[in-house]
Structure 1
Amino acid sequence: MPKFALMFKKLLNKKDKLIELMKTPLNENCSAVVLKKLPEKLGDPGRFLIPCDFTGLDNCLALANLGASINLMPLSIWKKLRLPTLDNTKMVLELANRTISKPTGVAENIFVK
């Protein structure tokens, strides 16, 4: 007789007890998980624009970036907006098209109203 035959014989003799063990009563937490439907898929929200107020510019909308990133701006636009002076930096940036850019300066925490 193979070694596992004895194991199967014991399992078959005690199958009533196994069926009782398989039945698990659901409490509030389990039933909530089982009954919970999948959330409805939403479409692309598009751009997240924030209205801003700069002197000399009408209808200014700033594109908000909700993640951590580096935003680049041409120096001519920085001067035109009359924003605070830039801090010197030794940073060198490699852009997506593999060009190297050395920023004139860095500004942090510029608030826009």
Structure 2
Amino acid sequence: MPTYVKFLKDVLTKKRRLGEFETACLTKECSTILTSKIPEKMKDLGSFTIPVAITGQKIGQALCDLGASIKLMSLSVYKKLGMGKARITTITIQLADRSITHPEGKIEDVLVQVDKFIFPADFIILDYDANKEVPIILGRSFLDTGRTLVDVHKGEVTMRVQDQEIKFVVYDFMKYHAEVEECYVLKILDETLLETLNSEPMLE
């Protein structure tokens, strides 16, 4: 009798077991993970913005971007403010489509007013079609200066100076910007690094 035929016969006559039934005991931590309810998925509410004024003029909303290492101002806003001649800068900016653009310059020690607080900031001036409602971008360094706290769930932005603080409820602004299907990515390249990249042959 072939071996496989004998095996099937033994299984059918219950002379051979396919395997033992075992119970696996999970730890308390694993049980908690499996039995806990998954948090409700929330809707994407968009980017956080705060109202700002520069040299006493209301600019509109400023985008709070934790991913940006610089503070960016559109050329149109710069001209509107009449802030004098910008300083030449060697910074080069790479956009999301990997194209390279050169800023118009840099202005330093600009007084940015956020409600009752005033912060000094350096801006890179870039010639681009800015959103009229959100013409400038505030990067990590500015938010760090204001000891900014962002509560995504509540839609609140809190800025603090010493023992004082101000809060903004930004749900309305977030809903507005969620409808704008645009994405801006900026990468800052040093002039020396850029020359090195341009001198290397492109890979096929």
TM bin (shorter chain) = 0.5 to 0.7
Match of 1:89 in 2: 90
Relative to the length of structure 1, the TM-score reads: 0.57
**Structure 2 counterpart SS, 1:73:** strand
Q: What percentage of aligned pairs have identical amino acids?
A: 32
Match of 1:13 in 2: 17
Distance across 2 between alignment mates of 1:43 and 1:100: 34
The Cα shift of 1:42 comes to 0.6
Distance across 2 between alignment mates of 1:89 and 1:59: 27
The Cα shift of 1:13 comes to 3.4
Distance across 2 between alignment mates of 1:101 and 1:63: 21
Q: Point out where structure 1 has 5 or more consecutive residues left out of the alignment.
A: none
Q: Give the residue type in structure 2 aligned to 1:2.
A: T
Q: Please list, as runs of the form range in 1=range in 2, the aligned pairs for 1:1-113 lying within 5 A after superposition.
A: 1-2=2-3, 5=7, 12-13=16-17, 15=19, 18-19=20-21, 22-58=22-58, 60-68=60-68, 73-78=73-78, 80=81, 82=83, 85-89=86-90, 91=92, 93=94, 96=97, 101-105=101-105, 107=123, 111=142
Q: State the structure with bigger RCO (CA 8 A, min sep 6), 1 or 2.
A: 2
8 Å Cα contact 1:93-1:100 kept in structure 2: yes
Q: Point out where structure 2 has 5 or more consecutive residues left out of the alignment.
A: 107-122, 125-138, 147-204
Distance across 2 between alignment mates of 1:53 and 1:100: 30
Distance of aligned partners of 1:91 and 1:2 in 2 relative to their CA distance in 1, 3 Å threshold? same
The Cα shift of 1:48 comes to 0.8
More helix by share: 1
Distance across 2 between alignment mates of 1:30 and 1:99: 48
8 Å Cα contact 1:94-1:100 kept in structure 2: yes
Distance across 2 between alignment mates of 1:43 and 1:24: 38
The root-mean-square deviation of aligned C-alpha atoms, in Å, is 4.3
Query: How many residues are treated as equivalent by the alignment?
Result: 106
Distance of aligned partners of 1:30 and 1:93 in 2 relative to their CA distance in 1, 3 Å threshold? closer
8 Å Cα contact 1:92-1:102 kept in structure 2: yes
Distance of aligned partners of 1:95 and 1:73 in 2 relative to their CA distance in 1, 3 Å threshold? farther
**Structure 2 counterpart SS, 1:111:** helix
**Structure 2 counterpart SS, 1:58:** strand
The Cα shift of 1:65 comes to 1.9
- Look at both structures and tell me which one has the larger radius of gyration over its CA atoms: 1
More strand by share: 2
The Cα shift of 1:62 comes to 0.7
Q: Give the residue type in structure 1 aligned to 2:17.
A: N
Distance of aligned partners of 1:14 and 1:65 in 2 relative to their CA distance in 1, 3 Å threshold? same
